[in-house]
């Protein structure tokens, strides 16, 4: 595991969604493809440096050629691989449908809540398949410190772009199974439930980031109005494609504008004796009291597996 005192630490990971398979203005350093206890990530991870020399890690959620179904994204391997590189904060981009008139295609949103409509076919926990039980807190599924930090910076970046892209915060995203889009009845139901956006990838990604004690924020980019509008057609992939390109270019601009400062905010305390930086403080240490299984009942093989993602609690001898 790469440590915080590395010469060129990679503290920030970016997960690119549909349409966002690479970033701009970065100098390629290398690709890495760590085999984790949960397999390989969706694609080799690109380590690249910003003009300042800051290095970041980029991972394409569906693979670089978009070959992985939403239900088959190896989210455990993705999150574990990023953590193994030293990543502490993840900016995840996602193409989403809108469930609200005011969130027009082309709008960017930093959601605050998730409604789970996945169907139990995705592994959702690093603890699954082990004899160690843990219950992560997930009431606030995104890292609100990170989201609040992002809001003014993302707003500034999109204003500077000058295309009139709007930004919303505090919204609720429905994470559905797919790969088919929703029916009109489902879409209307999600609105009644309080959903504002819909995608197929917020979960289990956000849950796994929480279990790994990583700060995680989603930058949701609206591509369509889903299926709830009475007098218009329902979402099609062709509709999504119309906005995907422009959204990806705004996403790249956002990344280029904020990554240096985010890296600095995440590393701010490293030099000052290893205190936990403010922006990470909700997540770091959050699993400490989530682990229910008595240490003397924990199988060493399970501990070894979990140490890959939570060395903080599992790398030593059992207590
Ligand atoms: C291309 S439309 C449906 C597809 O797009 C979103 O992907 P991502 O979240 O990776 O941007 C959505 O979640 C679906 O997987
Ligand atoms: N309408 C929609 N439903 C689910 N995922 C999406 N991704 C983009 N648009 C979507």
pLDDT of residue 3: 42
What is the CA(191)–ligand 2 centre distance, in A? 14
> Does the annotation count 24 as an active-site position?
no
pLDDT of residue 273: 58
Residues near 195 by beta carbon (within 8 Å), at least 6 away in sequence: 99, 115, 172, 173, 174
Task: Tell me the per-residue pLDDT of 230-261, one tens digit each, with 9 for 90 and over.
Answer: 989 899 898 889 899 999 999 999 999 999 99
Q: Is the CB of 220 under 6 A from ligand 2?
A: no
Task: Tell me the per-residue pLDDT of 157-205, one tens digit each, with 9 for 90 and over.
Answer: 999 999 999 999 999 999 999 999 999 999 999 999 999 999 999 999 9
What is the CA(240)–ligand 1 centre distance, in A? 9
152: enclosing H helix or E strand: helix 144-161
22 is in an annotated binding site: no
> Does the annotation count 296 as an active-site position?
no
CA contacts within 13 A on the Cβ side of 74: 20
201 is in an annotated binding site: yes
What is the CA(169)–ligand 2 centre distance, in A? 18
pLDDT of residue 27: 92
- The answer for 261, left when phi > 0, alpha when psi is -120 to 50, beta otherwise, is alpha
Instruction: For 118-133, give the DSSP string.
Output: --S-S---TTTTSS--
pTM: 0.95
Looking from the CA of residue 95, the nearest atom of ligand 1 is 11
On the question of pLDDT at 287 being above 70, the answer is yes
Q: Is the CB of 202 under 6 A from ligand 2?
A: no
Q: Is the CB of 235 under 6 A from ligand 2?
A: yes
On the question of pLDDT at 42 being above 60, the answer is yes
- The answer for 129, left when phi > 0, alpha when psi is -120 to 50, beta otherwise, is left
144 is in an annotated binding site: no
Looking from the CA of residue 98, the nearest atom of ligand 2 is 1
What is the CA(114)–ligand 1 centre distance, in A? 15
Residues near 42 by beta carbon (within 8 Å), at least 6 away in sequence: 59, 60, 61, 62, 63, 68, 73, 74, 77, 78
299 is in an annotated binding site: no
Residue 87 — very low, low, confident or very high, per pLDDT cuts 50/70/90?
very high
């Amino acid at each position: 595991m790469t440590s915080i005192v590395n010469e060129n630490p990679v503290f920030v990971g970016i997960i690119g969604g549909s349409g966002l398979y690479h970033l701009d203005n970065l100098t390629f350093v290398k690709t890495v493809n760590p085999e984790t206890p949960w397999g390989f990530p969706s694609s080799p991870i690109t380590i690249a440096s910003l003009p300042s020399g800051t290095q970041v890690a980029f991972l394409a959620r569906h693979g670089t050629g978009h070959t992985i179904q939403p239900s088959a994204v190896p989210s455990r391997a993705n999150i574990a691989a990023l953590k193994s590189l030293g990543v502490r904060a993840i900016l995840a981009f996602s193409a989403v449908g809108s469930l609200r008139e005011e969130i027009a295609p082309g709008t960017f949103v930093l959601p605050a809540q998730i409604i789970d409509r996945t169907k139990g076919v995705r592994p959702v926990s690093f603890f699954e398949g082990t004899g160690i039980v843990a219950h992560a807190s997930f009431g606030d599924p995104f890292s609100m410190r990170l989201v609040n930090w992002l809001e003014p910076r993302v707003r500034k970046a999109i204003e500077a772009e000058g295309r009139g892209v709007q930004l919303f915060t505090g919204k609720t995203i429905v994470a559905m199974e797919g790969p088919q889009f929703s029916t009109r009845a489902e879409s209307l139901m999600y609105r009644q439930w309080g959903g504002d956006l819909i995608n197929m990838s917020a979960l289990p990604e956000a849950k796994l980031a929480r279990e790994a004690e990583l700060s995680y924020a989603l930058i949701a980019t609206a591509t369509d109005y889903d299926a709830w509008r009475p007098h218009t057609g329902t979402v099609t992939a062709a509709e999504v494609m119309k906005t995907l390109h422009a959204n990806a270019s705004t996403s790249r601009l956002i990344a280029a504008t904020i990554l240096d400062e985010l890296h600095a905010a995440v590393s701010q305390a490293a030099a000052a004796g290893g205190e936990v930086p403010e922006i990470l403080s909700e997540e770091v240490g959050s699993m400490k009291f989530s682990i229910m299984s008595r240490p003397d009942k924990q199988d060493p093989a399970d501990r070894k597996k979990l140490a890959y993602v939570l060395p903080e609690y599992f790398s030593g001898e059992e207590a």
